[in-house]
């Protein structure tokens, strides 16, 4: 069994081929030359960070299937400075168009030591921003972005840092390493 931990850059598709009719976009094939592995879950084009790939269908299902409620931790740079009421709303769960979310673990954090994003996040002198660490146990489409927007603080940059027991620690952007299935 193979398990790959990949630090996906911004703007890279979570698939090995680009089937769109528009201009070509970078895919996993530009970074991972390992036949037979497939992503366990997705990470949006405009999100960065940890993506797991495996050749084991059971492990892929355990990681990606919402019924297993695998915790996923994100670092989110948000517009504005959420007050305690906004953080508490995220902790209770927020109502989205597709229904309420499960409660999230959330806390404000200092600016994390991350690689620079290309392109950089837009900077506006008149609008402050801050970083949150959020852990969710679902995996809806663009869920963290929709949750922060629902409490009035749109996400500017989103980095998935952890899935279950696997983290980005020591994996530079655009690189990967192989890991044991339980670590």
Could you tell me if 2 and 37 are in contact, meaning their C-beta atoms sit under 8 angstroms apart?
yes
**Is 44 annotated as catalytic?**
yes
> What is the distance between the alpha carbons of residues 89 and 135, in angstroms, rounded to a whole number?
14
Which entry of 44, 65, 129, 169 is annotated as an active-site residue? 44
Place of tokens 């690689």: 115
Supply the residues annotated as catalytic.
Answer: 44
């Amino acid at each position: 069994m193979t398990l790959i931990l990949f630090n996906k850059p911004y703007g890279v598709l979570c698939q090995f081929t680009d089937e769109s009719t528009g201009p070509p976009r970078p895919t996993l094939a530009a970074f991972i030359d390992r036949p037979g592995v497939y992503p366990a879950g997705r990470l949006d084009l405009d999100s960065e960070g940890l993506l797991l790939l495996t050749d084991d269908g059971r492990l892929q299902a355990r990681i990606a299937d919402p019924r297993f409620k695998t915790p996923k931790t994100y670092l989110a740079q948000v517009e504005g400075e959420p007050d305690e009421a906004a953080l508490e709303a995220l902790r209770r769960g927020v109502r989205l168009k597709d229904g309420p979310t499960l409660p999230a673990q959330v806390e404000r954090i200092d600016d994390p030591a991350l690689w620079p994003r290309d392109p950089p996040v837009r900077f506006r002198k008149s609008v402050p921003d801050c970083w949150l660490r959020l852990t969710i146990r679902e995996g809806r489409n663009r869920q963290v972005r929709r949750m922060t927007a629902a409490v009035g603080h749109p996400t500017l940059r989103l980095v998935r840092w952890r899935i279950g027991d696997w983290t980005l620690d020591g994996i530079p952007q655009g690189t990967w390493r192989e890991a044991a299935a339980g670590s």
